[in-house]
Structure 1
C-alpha cells in the first residue's frame, strides 16, 4: 500500500473550490485550484489518503462528512504528539529579520527567493506617522503582479487554520535599517508627527503566516516520515519544505539546487537523474492538469473529484501506482543501487504512460497543453541523518493494523513548483473560469497589495522613507 498524507490546508482549499467555505480574497483562487490539482493527483496515484484530524473542533464533523474516503488519524495516536512537539521546537528556532527593507534571515529569505517573490518594506506615512509597510516590487497590472498577488494571498491564507493570528506564530521580527540601526520598542514608543510607528498589521500578519507555514511544513514533513507515508501538502508549503529538508541534511545542497533548476526548466530527463550524496533519487511524472479536464467533462470541481475516484481504477493509473510502489520496495529491500536500477528500468514505461495521459486528459490552450509536474524525491535511510529523531518504539507499539505490513526504510517527499502551477492554471482561460465558478466570494475584507515602482525604491519623499 502507498499512503499520501494530505494536510488540512489542502482540504480547506478544496472546500473553498467546492463552495463549502467562503473566499474572502479572490487572489487566493488560483492557489486553491493548484491545491485541488494536488489533491486529485493524490487520489489518482496513491492507494490510500491520510489526514491528521487536528482541524478546528467546530468543523471536524463537517470535514469528515465531505471527505468520507479519507482516513482521518487522531493527533493523540501513533506518536503524533511527539511529532507536534518536535515541529514546534524546530519552528521556534526561526528568527525573522528585515534589514534595509528585505527579509535577510536564512529561513524566510530562502523561501521568498525560491518563490521568486520580489518584495520590499518601506516606511510609509499614515496619519503623520511612518509605519513599515510591505510592498510588491514591480508594476501594477503586469503578469508578475498577478503572480505575486496569488503567492502572497496563498501565504496569508495559511492563517485560516489558526484561531489567533498573533501570539506564538507571530514573534517580533528583528528590524534593522540600511544604516545598521536596530529598531527597538523604544523607537516606536512616541508616535508624534514624523516618528516611526513600527510595522503595519499587514506586515505583522504576513510574518505570522510565514511562521505558521514553516511550522506546518515541518510538522507534515516529519509526520509523513513517521507514518511512512508521502507528504502531499499544499503546494505553497513545498517551497519551505525543500528549504527545511536541505537545512536538516536530508537533501544535499547540490541536490536541492539542481532540483529547483530543473523544475524551472522542466527538463524531464535531467530531473530523473538527480542524485545527492548517494542517498536521493527523483522520479518525475509529467502530467496534464487533471482538474481542468475533469471539470470540463463533469461541470464542477466537486464532480471532478468524484470522477477522479472513478478513473483511478483505469489501467494507466493502476500501472503507474504499481510502478511507483515497485520502485519504493526496491529502495527498501535492495538499497539505493537496486532502487536506482529499477527506476531506470521503469522510467521509460512511466514516461510513455504520462504521454498517453497528457493526450487523453490534457486541455489545449494558446500555449499548448498545460502540465503539472509531480516530483517524487526518494531518500534512502542513510540520507535522513539530519532530520530530528522520533521515538520509533512508541510508534511501533501503536502502529495501526492496516499499516503493520508496510515497514519501509525509504522516505518520499512530493515536490511541486507553485509558481509554475499558478501560471499553468491561469493559462487555462475559460476552463479556469469554469473551475472557479463554485467559489463563494465575500471580498469585503480583501485589501489590494501595495506596489513599489523599482525606479523609486531608494527615493525618499514626504510620504515615504526607504528603510
Structure 2
C-alpha cells in the first residue's frame, strides 16, 4: 500500500499538485565518519575505552538508521587514517566511500578552518556570550566559568548550572558527546589543525584558551590550574571542530548533489546557526511539536518562499531494536525497510523540496510541506514505539526553499547553495538524548554488542552547580570573572 492509499485519495489529492511523483528520485545522503565511529563501537567492531560515550553512540546509530531509511544511496568520505580505512569500508559495504583528490581536499579543509575561526567562542564575565549562546541553547545546557575551591587552592572549571545536582545523567551524556568530537579529530586527515579562537568582553588581549587561562591565573594568587573534570577545553575545541566539520561535509555534499547527516554535536551546531537567524521562530516551532502530541509538523513559510519547519518522527532505533536482537540486525533491517513505499514516498517529497524552482514560492512550498506532514504522521503511527516512559519520537529542524545569503552565518555555512533552493534537516540532540534516557529495557539490547576495552571506565563526573548559585559564592566555589 502506498502513501496515497494509506491516507485516502481525497486527502492525498489536496496537496498533490505540488508533488511530481514521476520525478526520478535518487536521493543521496552523506554521513560523517564520527557517526560511523559511534556505530562501530555500538556493534562491537571497536572496543570502548570511554563508557561515557555510549549514549552518544546510540544517537550515532539513530543517525545512520535515519540516513538509510531516507536515502537511495549512502556516501561517506574516505579520509580516515590508513590503519582504520580499509576495515571501515568493509564494515559498511553498503556505503560508497568518496576519495577526494589532494588539491580539492586541502581547499575545502582550508575554507572549513577559516569558517571555524570566524565562530569565536566568546565570554562576557563568567558566561558564554555571542554566537555560542545559540549552540548551548540547542544542546540545552547552561555553562559557567567557576572557581572550584579546595582549602587555599582554586581551580578554574567550566561548570554546568542545573536544577538538581543529583540528576545529571543528561549533562554527563552531553560531556560524552564533546569527548567523542575530540576522539574523531585524532583519526581523520583533516589536513589543517587550528586553535579555536576565544574572546572575552573588555579583554582584547585574549584570543585563545591559553590566553584565557593565563589571564585568570595571573589575577588569582590561589590558582592551581584547570579542574580535571572541567568541560572548558572540550567545549571550546568541540565548538570549533563542529563548525569546521559541518562546513566541510556540507560543502562535499553540495558538490555531490547529496543531503548530509551529521554526528549529534554537529547537528546542534547547525541548529544553533538557525537560531542565530530567527531565534523566536525556531523556539516556537520546536515548542509546538513538544506541546502538541498529535502534531507531526510545524512550519513557517514567508512570502519570499523561505521556509523553516520542524518534524516529529519515530525514534527508529527504538522501533528496530524492539524487533531485532542487536544493533547490527537493526542496520540490516533498515536496509530492507528503505524499499517500502512509505519511505520511498518520503524521499520523493524531500527530493521535490530540493528541486523546487525559485519561482515556485510559498504556495507550492506549502503544498509540499503539507504532504510531508501527512507522510510523517503515517510513519509515526506505523513505527512509533511507546515505552513505559512514553512514545519515542524525535524532533528535526528543517530549512527548505531558502536562498543562502539571507543571514551571515547560514550564508557562510551553506556557501555552495547560494541562490539555490535546497532542504536540510537537523536533528534536535536534546530530544534524542531524552529518548535514550527513556528507552528502558531497550537500552540494554542496544548495548548488547558493546565490547569494553581492558582499560574501560567512566570519565570523571562533569562539574555541575545548582542554578541558584549562578551569582553566588560559598566555601566551595564562586563565579570566575576577570
TM surpasses 0.5: yes
Large movers: runs of 4+ above 6 Å: 181-184, 389-392
1:368 aligns with 2:393: no
1:447 aligns with 2:469: no
Q: 1:38 to 1:276 in 2, by over 3 A?
A: farther
1:347 and 1:444 map into 2 onto residues whose CA distance is: 44
Shifted more, 54-63 versus 414-423: the winner is 54-63
TM-score normalized with structure 1 length: 0.81
Query: Residue in 2 aligned with 1:316?
Result: 342
1:216 and 1:204 map into 2 onto residues whose CA distance is: 18
1:431 and 1:55 map into 2 onto residues whose CA distance is: 32
- Verify the 8 A CA contact 1:24 1:446 in the aligned structure 2: no
* Aligned counterparts, 1:232-381, within 5 A: 232-245=261-274, 252=278, 255-262=281-288, 264-265=290-291, 271-276=297-302, 278-282=304-308, 285-329=311-355, 331-332=356-357, 335-337=360-362, 339-344=364-369, 346-347=371-372, 349-351=374-376, 354-355=377-378, 357-381=379-403
1:37 aligns with 2:62: yes
1:455 and 1:161 map into 2 onto residues whose CA distance is: 36
1:412 aligns with 2:436: no
1:186 and 1:328 map into 2 onto residues whose CA distance is: 49
Q: What is the SS of the residue equivalent to 2:336?
A: helix
1:62 aligns with 2:84: no
**Deviation at residue 310 of structure 1 after TM alignment:** 1.1
1:151 aligns with 2:151: no
1:423 aligns with 2:446: no
- Verify the 8 A CA contact 2:353 2:400 in the aligned structure 1: no
**Deviation at residue 157 of structure 1 after TM alignment:** 1.3
Query: Residue in 2 aligned with 1:7?
Result: 32
Q: 1:71 to 1:389 in 2, by over 3 A?
A: same
**Deviation at residue 186 of structure 1 after TM alignment:** 6.4
- Verify the 8 A CA contact 1:282 1:376 in the aligned structure 2: yes
Q: What is the SS of the residue equivalent to 2:97?
A: strand
Query: Residue in 2 aligned with 1:134?
Result: 158
Query: Residue in 1 aligned with 2:17?
Result: none
1:195 aligns with 2:244: no
- Verify the 8 A CA contact 2:70 2:346 in the aligned structure 1: yes
2:458 and 2:51 map into 1 onto residues whose CA distance is: 10
Q: 1:289 to 1:359 in 2, by over 3 A?
A: same
Cα deviation per residue 1:358-379 (whole Å; 9 max; x = unaligned)? 3443322124321123444213
**Deviation at residue 160 of structure 1 after TM alignment:** 1.2
Q: 1:265 to 1:238 in 2, by over 3 A?
A: farther
- Verify the 8 A CA contact 1:459 1:465 in the aligned structure 2: yes
Cα deviation per residue 1:303-332 (whole Å; 9 max; x = unaligned)? 110111012112222222223323433x13
Q: What is the SS of the residue equivalent to 2:385?
A: coil
Query: Residue in 2 aligned with 1:402?
Result: none
- Verify the 8 A CA contact 1:262 1:270 in the aligned structure 2: no
1:210 aligns with 2:239: yes
Q: 1:13 to 1:222 in 2, by over 3 A?
A: same
RMSD: 3.5
Count of aligned pairs:
438
Q: What is the SS of the residue equivalent to 1:130?
A: strand
Query: Residue in 2 aligned with 1:121?
Result: 145
Cα deviation per residue 1:196-234 (whole Å; 9 max; x = unaligned)? 245446422332222212222232233333433212112
Query: Residue in 1 aligned with 2:11?
Result: none
Q: What is the SS of the residue equivalent to 1:369?
A: strand
Q: What is the SS of the residue equivalent to 1:122?
A: strand
- Verify the 8 A CA contact 2:403 2:420 in the aligned structure 1: yes
- Verify the 8 A CA contact 1:28 1:153 in the aligned structure 2: yes
Q: 1:70 to 1:294 in 2, by over 3 A?
A: same
2:431 and 2:324 map into 1 onto residues whose CA distance is: 25
Q: What is the SS of the residue equivalent to 1:24?
A: strand
- Verify the 8 A CA contact 2:398 2:426 in the aligned structure 1: yes
* Aligned counterparts, 1:91-110, within 5 A: 91-104=116-129, 106-110=130-134
Cα deviation per residue 1:228-277 (whole Å; 9 max; x = unaligned)? 32121123222211233565xxx555654444444554678694431246
- Verify the 8 A CA contact 2:138 2:428 in the aligned structure 1: no
TM-score normalized with structure 2 length: 0.79
2:201 and 2:308 map into 1 onto residues whose CA distance is: 40
